[in-house]
Amino acid sequence: MTAATILITGANRGIGLELTQQFAVDGWTVLACCRNPADASDLQQLCERYPSIETLTLDVTDYAQMQSLAAQLQDRPIDILLSNAGIYGPRGSNFGDVDAAAWREVLEVNTIAPLMLAQAFVEQVAASRHKLIAVISSKMGSIADNGSGGSYIYRTSKTAVNQVVKSLANDLAGQGISVISLHPGWVQTDMGGANAEINTPTSAAGLKAVLQAAGTEQSGQFLEYNGDAIPWQFSRRVAGRCNWLNRYQLSAICSGMLIRVGRDAACARCRASTNSARVATVSAAQPNPLAMVMKSGV
């Protein structure tokens, strides 16, 4: 059996470079893309150590170059297509101090380019075994998690790309392709800074595990590097205990505290882990499958 293949953009530094190394260590073929591979000394050193790494020239905002690369790789199945390349833009970008031109540049790299990459390489992903498209996003793109405001440029680019991921998950489901959005944590990179919570190897190891395990059940989800699901919508705690698994004949009663998400209520763990196909099967037999039984009587 041939080795699995991952294509990583922005592979010359930070999380992309670390993921390139960790997948290569695991025996994967890594298509490591960046704008100037010849100038990427750290990436070149990895290539000398791991012959399964191939460096490829790609500016993710040069869509003609992207299409040319896709044609060059037309006969290469790509198990994981990872949009990692991203930029932060001007620091701050708070109300009254937003540079419109810089905003457009960040949206081009962080939001538009991942969709264009998916469009360019969808056939190679569909021809693979794993069939996964993933985008490195950020919790800063979470509407529910925004309690401080500001950072308009970076926040909106990641919120928008999360919507791209959700639409892709719907549009590509028929081809068996899963699509996920990933939060790498607050990482000690050039973007995250030296005071960030975790180092790059820790983030990359978690992301690698999520990428290798992700399938159709996770498609359309926003996942942390540790595998936890991040709700798309604003959530609030409500009274009672979760009866999700018992009510839908999936497992024993869970004791997790309820979270109300839109019209539905269940604990975060059950919402993340419940097999959607099995819920759909039960849904067909019950008129209101998302009604929760809570001790409060709600």
Q: How far apart are the C-alpha atoms of 118 and 115, rounded to whole Å?
A: 5
Confidence class of residue 283 from pLDDT cuts 50, 70 and 90? very low
Q: Which of these ranges, 87-101, 154-168, 267-281, has the smallest mean pLDDT?
A: 267-281
Q: How many residues does the chain have?
A: 298
Structure tokens at 284: 């067909």
**151, 87, 81: which is closest to 120 by C-alpha?**
81
Structure tokens at 102: 């810089």
Q: Which of these ranges, 147-151, 225-229, 235-239, has the smallest mean pLDDT?
A: 235-239
SS in 3 state form for 122-180? HHHHHCCCCCEEEEECCHHHCCCCCCCCCCHHHHHHHHHHHHHHHHHHHHCHHHCCEEE
Termini Cα distance of the chain:
54
Confidence class of residue 116 from pLDDT cuts 50, 70 and 90? very high
Point out which residues pair with 9 in neighbouring strands.
Answer: 33
- Is residue 233 pLDDT above 70, yes or no? no
> What are the structural domain ranges in the chain?
5-224, 235-285
Map residue 251 onto helix, strand or coil: coil
Q: How far apart are the C-alpha atoms of 63 and 117, rounded to whole Å?
A: 8
What is the pLDDT averaged over residues 31-42? 97
The secondary structure of residue 110, as a DSSP letter, is I
pLDDT of 267: 52
**Domain 5-224 belongs to what architecture?**
3-Layer(aba) Sandwich (3.40)
pLDDT of 125: 98
Q: How far apart are the C-alpha atoms of 135 and 9, rounded to whole Å?
A: 10
pLDDT of 148: 87
pLDDT of 265: 47
Q: How far apart are the C-alpha atoms of 287 and 174, rounded to whole Å?
A: 27
**Locus of tokens 């059940």:** 217
Contact between 265 and 259 (Cβ < 8 Å): yes
pLDDT of 263: 40
